[in-house]
Structure 1
């Protein structure tokens, strides 16, 4: 019969300490949760070589390009970039301080589009290849709900208290009836 008091004490400790553990003090938490994405991620492609790294971000008909040196990841601010996408040859124009942009004649269709980029920086000329993988997903705009253990800790504490109350009720019942049980001979 010593097992029942041990279980009751364990349930009580879990019920009392569970919510307290969810409220970690300064220095014991892991900082603010990362912000959730505000909208669907834009389609991207990357193309690399020994000299350059090129990243393109598709937004409708516009592709914003970011060009870095492969050796030190330093942005390249002056370059000539020509893209060949789906048979069309497009020349990028400078956009802002460290980006370039091309406008597609029409929005690309779903599927995988091979991209070839010719990059000219001073005397350096490099050919980079990548793929733009476009998928129409019906669940892109569905919100993503994050669930953490901290949200469940008070519920677990409540369940522990309910279990403790049930154990106490079951233990008390035979004592209240004077040890008599139904269905037995007297």
Structure 2
């Protein structure tokens, strides 16, 4: 199966250390995230990187240049990735949003903080207090059931509707092609 991953970084292999993801709803540390459509991966390949350098225009009293920090726009890469025969937990529904089914299952492990009393969920846009712990427990639960990842069918993204894949370990992933985003525009 072919899936796509967008990243502002270039790398040779998928590892949890090489891949930095910033996804909505604090799901980024569950595993490595992919989409079924190249266009759906593109927003994750466009971002900013923090640059720290000596200033050419600002100086201290002793004449030494100040060190400044700023965010620079970055156009990254779309990774075309192949995997075969992974056991994925599938979230699909014809009557409900599949992403909501996935998030409700993960919410069992989440502690949220918000202004509304009662048990909060991901839909309340509250602050998740235990992201790493919640994602780790959720992933371990699925792995104990024999799953190597998950698939969320027909998920609404910025660029339309796509399937979202989360693979727990990068060993089964093979990079087929790396496409610079700037060549797609």
What interval of TM-score do these two structures reach, taking the shorter chain for normalisation? under 0.3
Q: TM-score scaled to structure 2, two decimals? A: 0.23
The structure richer in strand per residue is 2
Which gives a bigger RCO, structure 1 or 2 (Cα 8 Å, sep 6+)? 2
Q: TM-score scaled to structure 1, two decimals? A: 0.23
Radius of gyration: which is bigger?
Answer: 1
